[in-house]
Structure 1
């Protein structure tokens, strides 16, 4: 295994999170929520979009390589997609409360697991690891919309 292969596994799995044997995606989302107040929320809107675009690119590249290394389509090891989807959930919020962070987690996990249209179909829109990433982007958009409604109602 090359250094590049190890790096792809490390990045796509968010370090050790992808190695968790059960519910790695949920753990990846939880880590993303915990990291968001320090690493994502403080950024100005433009930089949040830049970070998400960079994560999509890097996630697509590393997920593609991880799929080949593990010889499996959308392996559970890949959790960088949860990071982008979860952070996308919080994109328009300047200072989400603890309640909103928790609600965003629940909304994103629900849409990521249930995969309502067109989330499930989107997995086939793009090749390789980008197909792994895009369904979480759409789940994140759904979760963001629900969180916006919840925020507005409060």
Structure 2
């Protein structure tokens, strides 16, 4: 399914009137016209860092990511509807946030590994090798929005894991 655009430009005011879209847009991090996926990923990195920083362990972060994935299917679906049935609009970044929670719950801790994990995720999310591309183009609705990013997160975790074994 081809990505589409809404008939209007989402604004902060629109997000404040659409609470589910506020979450779908990553608490506003998906609003920038340039690189909303990167901004959403940075929001996910920030949230993961805050949660781990207050003592939430990696296992709990992973379990939170699982719950956020399941809930995110509905969030992303409702956000698509609020945009006028727009498919996988770039400003919907809840999927990037959840993917970052997965990545940072599964990779070694430390600044170096987080930068590599972030970069690897962004690479796979942008380039979309198979089956990411298939999930992005063939799976509709909220599940489609969420699924391609989780697969990209798995690829990123694998890359970091391999690098961690080497170094």
Tell me the TM-score normalized by structure 1: 0.87
The residue that corresponds to 2:23 in the other structure is 11
The residue that corresponds to 1:37 in the other structure is 49
The residue that corresponds to 1:58 in the other structure is 71
Name structure 2 gaps, 5 residues minimum. Answer: 1-14
Which whole-Å CA distance do the structure 1 matches of 2:51 and 2:58 have between them? 13
2:25–2:91 contact (8 Å) kept in structure 1? yes
- The question of 1:115 aligning with 2:128 is answered yes
- The question of 1:82 aligning with 2:96 is answered yes
- Where do 4+ consecutive residues of structure 1 move more than 6 Å? none
Aligned partner of residue 90 in structure 1, secondary structure: helix
Deviation string 1:54-93 (CA, Å, 9 cap, x unpaired) is: 1112211111011111121001121010011122122223
- Decide whether aligned partners of structure 1 residues 24 and 116 sit closer, same or farther in structure 2, where only a CA change above 3 A counts: same
Aligned partner of residue 153 in structure 2, secondary structure: helix
The residue that corresponds to 1:26 in the other structure is 38
Q: Please, what is the CA RMSD of the aligned residues?
A: 2.2
Tell me the TM-score normalized by structure 2: 0.81
Name structure 1 gaps, 5 residues minimum. Answer: none
Q: How many residues align?
A: 151
2:26–2:43 contact (8 Å) kept in structure 1? no
1:12–1:62 contact (8 Å) kept in structure 2? yes
Which whole-Å CA distance do the structure 1 matches of 2:43 and 2:28 have between them? 11
